[in-house]
Amino acid sequence: MKKNKKIILLLLIPLLLTGCTKTLKDEDNKVVVNEVTGQNLTENILCRPTDEETIRLYEENNVDIDSLPYCTCESDKVTIEVEVEQEDGSTVTETKEVDCESFKITSGGYEGLWTTIFVKPLAYVILFFGRITNSYGVGLIITTLLIRLIAYPVTRKTAMQSEYMKKANPEIARIEKKYANKDQNDKEVMMQKSQEMMMVYKKYNVNPISGCLLSFLQLPLFIAFLEAINRVPAIFEEKFLFFHLGTTPSVGVQTGNYWYILVVVLVAVTTYFSFKATTSDQVSTSDEMKRQQKMMTNMFTIIIIITSIFMSTALDIYWMTTNLFTIFQNLIVKRRLK
């Protein structure tokens, strides 16, 4: 237990030591929103936007986007507009070509452990795959799958726990039945029950809290994806299939694009089956525990569905991709253990 607490603490340290995404606010301290997408703009973006409306909003709110690198460079040179002062004191706008500086992991210097270790590398990888596939939506999906493949040795063990638990459940059920009519407040009785349960867990190589650890492992990745998407304009400015990656389903539906309902439906379906795959038979077969398990699965599914309505489509795509990976991973593990 102490070891697991240390792992959780280590995962939370980067969040505690460094700041996160800063929402852009105007002079009246109101959040600046891109009316087209409904997305709250981020002040500390990692690279400069290309959308004219987005550029205007940043310039109006005194964000120096000219000092930022480009998200990606299509050529070695880019054309920019500069103001040149004339002899009479007036200024004119001229265009000139300058070297294109694309975003790198080291761009902007050191910004703390969280941004340096997680956010910038993740943003760079998404941009890299987006550039070579000519789609940042595809780049986001490839990056998600790549990270899940890297984490596969850990997540595979968690999936295996579910299968081991199925074998242990009959013995756990007998222990539950054995102590069902005994005094639940008797410490000695409960201690004996706990010892018997631990013997069963040890026999079948089961770690009861492995599912919790997996959730904590996924949390930093989820937050890092959220930040990378919000801090890289190239991602939230692009369209993927019928969807604008920066648009939330709520705004999409309000503007008459009912395809965004499909995003929410897919998030709901993949989340439900993902939770079902990872929690199935991981607890005792008693009716009470089954009811609690079903209630928790339904509750978390509903929370994520509601959240997905107000998340950017890019983040919804990440969530759907990781859910599908989890479902297929559990199917593969189940077949191999049979």
Report whether pLDDT(198) > 90: no
What is the C-alpha separation between 175 and 193, in angstroms, rounded? 7
**Global pTM exceeds 0.85:** no
The mean-pLDDT minimum among 109-118, 178-187, 225-234, 304-313 falls in 178-187
Read off the pLDDT of residues 117-150 as tens digits, 9 standing for 90 and up: 888 999 999 999 998 998 999 999 999 999 888 8
Read off the pLDDT of residues 83-111 as tens digits, 9 standing for 90 and up: 666 666 666 666 666 667 888 888 888 78
CA atoms within 13 A on the CB side of 181: 2
What end-to-end distance do the CA atoms of the chain give, in Å?
Answer: 31
The dihedral of CA 293, 297, 303, 307: what is its sign?
positive
Please give the full DSSP string across 38-74, using - where no structure is assigned: TEEPBSS-SSB---HHHHHHHHHTT--GGGSPBS--S
